[in-house]
Amino acid sequence: MKLGCAYGLSLMMALVLGSGARAEAGMGTDPLADACALVSTRPGLRVMHVKGESMEPFFGDGALVVVKAIPFARLQSGSLVVYRNRFGELIAHRVVAVVPGGGWRVKGQANSRADSTLVTAGNLIGVVYATFSAAPVSTPALKAVEVVLAAPAR
């Protein structure tokens, strides 16, 4: 699902193309338009809007990330993952250790402890494929973009 990108994507692309700039991800000045351009060219990607500071300095509150769906078997220590925790929240944290027979332990970069929910094949959404803005992004179109938390462990 490409939440947020359907809203105004053709208008954003028209503005980029109309200005003579190349319509490639990372080439414009609007991080949401750039992220949407990337998502529109590759299957299995979605844009998410980060809320929280647990992944600083990699990305912080207000940043945009593109998440790529991958098979659970491809996860490895150090991966930046998005998963659904036991509270039903979407979380973006780093894989820190495999738990034999139980999945992967994850932790926010700036957190002192690991999350209580393990990442499993059943709750994995994907890996952070790209970060389009490490700083806060503000535009009305963000209201349609899925939120992922980079929050304290719970």
Query: Tell me, what's the pLDDT at 23?
Result: 38
Least confident span in 24-28, 52-56, 102-106: 24-28
Model pLDDT for residues 61-96, shown as the tens digit of each residue: 989 999 999 999 999 999 999 999 999 999 999 999
E strand intervals along 23-102: 45-51, 64-68, 80-84, 90-99
Q: Residue 134 — pLDDT band, cuts 50, 70, 90?
A: low
Percentage of the residues of the chain whose pLDDT score is greater than 70: 80
Residue with tokens 């491809």: 74
Least confident span in 2-6, 16-20, 115-119, 128-132: 16-20
Query: Tell me, what's the pLDDT at 124?
Result: 98
Domain boundaries, the chain: 43-149
Average pLDDT over residues 19-25: 36
CATH class assigned to 43-149: mainly beta
Q: Residue 138 — pLDDT band, cuts 50, 70, 90?
A: confident
Average pLDDT over residues 6-33: 48
CA atoms of 30 and 97, how far apart (whole Å): 36
pLDDT averaged over the chain? 83
